[in-house]
Structure 1
Amino acid sequence: MRSWRKLLIDTWGALAYKPAFQAASEGRTTRLPGSVAASWVPEEDRRRLAAYTVLAAYDTNQAAALLGEHGDNRREYGDASLIVDQTLSHLLGETQQIVVDGAEGDTAAQAREALLREWAQAEHLRLRMQYAERTAVLLGDTVYLLAWSRAKARPVLKTIDPGFYFPVLPEGAIDADEYPQRVHLAWEVPEDAATGRKGILRRVTYELGPIGDGGTRRTYPWSSQPSTITCYLTDAEWDLDQVDRAGDIDALSPARARFRSNGDGEVLNRLDLQLDFIPLVHIPNTVNGAEHYGQSSLLSVAQLLDDLAAADTDSQRASATTGSPIIGLSGARLPVDRRTGNPLPVEVEPGMVWPLGDNGQLSTVDTSAQLAELRAYVGALRDRLSVVTRLPASVLGTVSPSEVPSGYALQLSFGPLDAMVRSMRLAREAKYPLLLKMVQRLYQLGGVLPPGDNPRATISFGAYLPTDQATALDLAARGVQAGVLSLETAVRLLVGAGFPIKDAALEVELLRRSSATAA
């Protein structure tokens, strides 16, 4: 009965079997590093932070450290990191391209698309996406933060560790997409004995609230309707030795805070950002129902990874005894220590000869059969890992493409992977358009773009499965010739098949010019 009372089913329940995770989530003493169980961390966030730490340990081949002394000799060969990297590669596809609705034929939309692509190049968007999305696949979530830079005259983009992300969700929220009205970004800065600096807790808060006293209205350049809402920014820090008396992250005492300033000398204490939205986008890794947070791609295979590490460890030990077998000698003349008269340790070397007496015997312990069984067991675990992660053996590198009976059989093996990637991309379907909408609004706020409605823009992920380009080209050509496919649709079909077309709209324009010249 007690075990049922302790059962908690949530996003991170798959790690409940780990004592270190359970202790950290309950705020007890734990081997997990960092501030998982710090007093300022809200109770509902402790399980999430503990899960992040455990998952990061798997990624860096340090999960055995959570076992204490029992894991000192545990082998970990990078299986978790391989799963994360391969999942990320197929999620993002071969290309990531910004696309604006109507850019195929509308000059204004083409100009907007060109501006967003220039911004993406200047802010190294593809590089930041690699880091952010890998974090999402590994931990379950990632966070982007935007701000207007007066010096650069463009929005600047940062990626935020989800362990620093503490949203204050609305009371009674049952929709995972419901946007929080207040978000904290908080982390600890350890003390520095060399400079005498104390340990501090830093908290950056974005909060939506009424303008001024609540009666002021403001018309933002992206809307014709006056608004009474604005976003306030607060950046403060507290000494860690005073945090216990100040409360948790959402109730820290302003009286003990030290407020920071920006480059213009403005004190960041409820600074009005002149925005009616929080310039932060949280991206979950999976579609997770009513849960705000996503699920890591490693959660479902955590126990499999532990079993695989244990099997690899046993296999390594068995290989050691197989390569250097245990030898038993009787009736042999062994070297003796002249001082003590005790036999000296015997080392087995190639070419060594032991003289045996009339009844002398030499026997060895053969562990090759056990080694073969262990290797077969490791192979079975890898097959199960491939099934549960929905990554085919050819993707994980455990099967050579030459061993696949046919291309059709290979294509069928990608079915589970295809379903997984489609689901993961669905979880991001509304998030990247939201990010690019914020970028356009910040450009309007900076006077770069004119006031008015902004066209929908998104990031299109490229192909992630092997494609038959000859078949795709033939299909596109026949579709256009028969009049059942537009030229724009045909070009997008070719882009999806992996053809090196960087700009679909420009490609359509070039094709039309070529057709007109030929005519």
Structure 2
Amino acid sequence: MGLRQFLVDAWGWLNFKPVFADPTTGGPHRRAFPGAYSTWVPDEDVRRLAAYTVLAAYDGGQAGELAEVRDGPQARERREYGDPAAFVDAITSDVLGDEQRIVVDGTEEDDTTTEDEEARAVQEDLLAWAEEELLAMRMQQAERKAVGLGDAVYRLAWEPDKRRPTVRVVDPGFYFPVLGDDGEFPSRVHFAWELPEDTRRGLKPRLRRITYELAPITPATASGTDRRGRPQRSVVGDEDDPQLVAGDTADEAGGIWRQYAWNEEPSGVTCYLTDATWLLEDLERANDIDNLPMGKAAYAVRGDGEVLNALDLMIDFVPVIHLPNTVPAAEEYWGKASLASVLQVLDELAASDTDAARASATTGIPILSVSGLQDGRASVQVEPGTVFRLADGGRMDVVNTAPQLAQLLSTVETLRDRAAVNLRLPAVALGTQDPAQLPSGYALKISLGPLDKLVASMRLARRHKYQLLLRFAQRLFIAGQHPDWVGRSVHQANIVMGAYTPTDRMGVLEEVSTAYAARLISLETALRILAEGGWPINDVSVEIDRIQSRAFDQAGALADATGDAAAVRDYLGLAPADPEKTPVPVLPGPAGPPQTPAPADDAGQPTG
């Protein structure tokens, strides 16, 4: 008898479930996860897709339905009251905070250089773009995927009709990157899913795949059709003398180079987009997602008539961002779901809820034991108003299950608290803490310590990804030749997430006021701390301008220190003075004719 294989990978925390690690095969149950075993799915992605299905079942209250595949119909009796979804929602809200702000480097500096003015313009345009593109809602969609499944994916594209980049969230189960040696930024990415049969339209089951690939720049191509009338792209010009895209240059070795607006040096690569569909019956078992037969593909056609077969997107990056929920382990790529470490606790919680539901039935309708009925019946049906006629020596007993129910409910609360502790979600973060039990704000801060560390770690995993998203959005604006972005450079930008816990605003104000008065922090830092502490400051630079426009005492001190009237006007946000306009003189003392001083004695005192 061979020993069961001990498998440790990114989804090893699910090996305890027989439906995920079938004892007979060692892999996910084929009937429970048929999509993971499609012929086109690579072997290394089977466990990942099955793990997404398990996590989605817990989140949707369908873990019992999934277990039914292996454990039989009795698994459907499992009670699931939404605790996993509540935990996922709580963590998602904490990670996002109460607001999300776009901050471009250089916008909070008190300078008037051309670069800083451009940075402010970029920030204003990015804020307007985020509002039009519903970026806050997209982030909510992606973050819930990341927290619940461990991964989320953003896909960006330039939309000619809208004249702006678009952002869409893609389920990670459709995402198949081709990872290179570094395993961080894949040069080829597939999005693939099966399309069911449509008998009314006469369509057979199909597989659709959208591919982004970085590859060397090739000669210009144009949309057309092949011999069978199917959409296809072909090289423009003769085979011996193909045409280049306007702006491209070729070297003596045959390489083609392109100068992108955001690079200092020419680049020899570009990103190609392919959107194709195959009939499932045309795929062989040897074909996986990365080596499908292109000769049997049907290519999609974009709204402007472009055939999506290796369409040159005129960018040198893949506009796809993988968002892991946690910082991946060394040499790993995928994130870890927040519920991964507590799934066994959630199973015990569901079992206790099921037992409590059964016990509540016997408590609400108690079990009676009746002996000595006059009519001699062995059993009776008890209903409200039932009268028992007992013979001499007859008796009636009631089986009291209330103590057992109370113990079960106590067990449920204990398991729920255990899950919250392992998730690092204190009771105050879940809204179950009685505020009267907290002696002080310092005690509240101590109780939120585990949550602070959790959110800090999760935001660290996201920081660089959202920087990439804003960088890609700027590049797409420039590549799309939007009038407002012509001649601009790409600026470093971040998405700053707001507070996620109750804050003592007065305490924050007192700390900031003391530090600023002691000249230990700048005005920019002080306002940033106030904004993070919950004060309604939307734009630090705008708030600084408002404060300085009314700071006449500081303006007077600036005038005394420098004697520069232009610097004072700039500090107050006033326009430069007109040099042709003569300033109005200000006479000292009260207005009117000069007064003759009264005579004084030798001591200087007036005599009359």
User: How many Å separate the matches in 2 of 1:451 and 1:421?
Assistant: 38
Instruction: Pick which of 396-405 and 317-326 moved more.
Output: 396-405
CA 1:406/1:472 → structure 2, altered by over 3 Å: closer, same or farther? closer
**Does 1:377 pair with 2:417?**
no
Q: Could you tell me which residue of structure 1 aligns to residue 346 of structure 2?
A: 305
Q: Could you tell me which residue of structure 2 aligns to residue 347 of structure 1?
A: 382
Of 502, 510, 517, 1:466 maps to 502
Query: How many residues of Structure 1 are paired with residues of Structure 2 in the alignment?
Result: 506
The structural deviation recorded for 1:2 is: 4.3
**Does 1:72 pair with 2:73?**
no
Q: Are the aligned partners of 1:335 and 1:344 in contact in 2 as well (CA < 8 Å)?
A: no
Aligned amino acid, residue 511 of structure 1: I
Superposed, which structure 2 residues align to 1:264-283 within 5 Å? 264-283=304-323
Q: Could you tell me which residue of structure 2 aligns to residue 318 of structure 1?
A: 359
The structural deviation recorded for 1:334 is: 5.8
Superposed, which structure 2 residues align to 1:323-402 within 5 Å? 323-333=364-374, 345-349=380-384, 351-402=385-436
Superposed, which structure 2 residues align to 1:352-501 within 5 Å? 352-448=386-482, 449-451=485-487, 453-501=489-537
User: How many Å separate the matches in 2 of 1:129 and 1:72?
Assistant: 34
The residue matched to 1:118 in structure 2 has which SS?
Answer: helix
1:33-88 per-residue CA deviation (whole Å, 9 max, x = no partner) reads x6121111111011110000000000111111122123211111111001100001
Instruction: Pick which of 457-466 and 14-23 moved more.
Output: 14-23
User: How many Å separate the matches in 2 of 1:192 and 1:120?
Assistant: 37
Q: Could you tell me which residue of structure 2 aligns to residue 210 of structure 1?
A: 216
Q: Could you tell me which residue of structure 2 aligns to residue 122 of structure 1?
A: 132
User: How many Å separate the matches in 2 of 1:28 and 1:80?
Assistant: 23
RMSD across aligned positions (CA) = 1.9
Of 180, 187, 196, 1:181 maps to 187
Q: Would you tell me which structure has more helix in proportion to its own residues?
A: 1
1:364-390 per-residue CA deviation (whole Å, 9 max, x = no partner) reads 211122112212211221121111000
User: How many Å separate the matches in 2 of 1:64 and 1:285?
Assistant: 26
Q: Are the aligned partners of 1:98 and 1:457 in contact in 2 as well (CA < 8 Å)?
A: yes
User: How many Å separate the matches in 1 of 2:96 and 2:480?
Assistant: 31
The residue matched to 1:36 in structure 2 has which SS?
Answer: helix
Instruction: Flag structure 1 segments of 5+ consecutive residues without an equivalent.
Output: 337-342
Q: Are the aligned partners of 2:97 and 2:499 in contact in 1 as well (CA < 8 Å)?
A: yes
User: How many Å separate the matches in 2 of 1:397 and 1:371?
Assistant: 25
**Does 1:35 pair with 2:35?**
yes
Aligned amino acid, residue 365 of structure 2: S
Q: Are the aligned partners of 1:147 and 1:279 in contact in 2 as well (CA < 8 Å)?
A: yes
Q: Percent identity?
A: 49
**Does 1:191 pair with 2:197?**
yes
CA 1:15/1:27 → structure 2, altered by over 3 Å: closer, same or farther? closer
User: How many Å separate the matches in 1 of 2:2 and 2:460?
Assistant: 39
Larger RCO: 1 or 2 (CA < 8 Å, sep 6+): 1
Aligned amino acid, residue 208 of structure 2: R
User: How many Å separate the matches in 2 of 1:27 and 1:253?
Assistant: 28
Q: Could you tell me which residue of structure 1 aligns to residue 9 of structure 2?
A: 10
TM-score, length-normalised on structure 2? 0.80
Q: Are the aligned partners of 1:140 and 1:296 in contact in 2 as well (CA < 8 Å)?
A: yes
The structural deviation recorded for 1:353 is: 2.0
Instruction: Flag structure 2 segments of 5+ consecutive residues without an equivalent.
Output: 110-115, 220-253, 557-608
TM-score, length-normalised on structure 1? 0.94
The structural deviation recorded for 1:361 is: 1.4
Q: Are the aligned partners of 2:40 and 2:285 in contact in 1 as well (CA < 8 Å)?
A: no
Larger radius of gyration: 2
Aligned amino acid, residue 439 of structure 1: A
User: How many Å separate the matches in 1 of 2:352 and 2:497?
Assistant: 38
The structural deviation recorded for 1:407 is: 3.0
The structural deviation recorded for 1:322 is: 1.2
The structural deviation recorded for 1:249 is: 0.4
Q: Could you tell me which residue of structure 2 aligns to residue 111 of structure 1?
A: 121
User: How many Å separate the matches in 2 of 1:488 and 1:45?
Assistant: 48
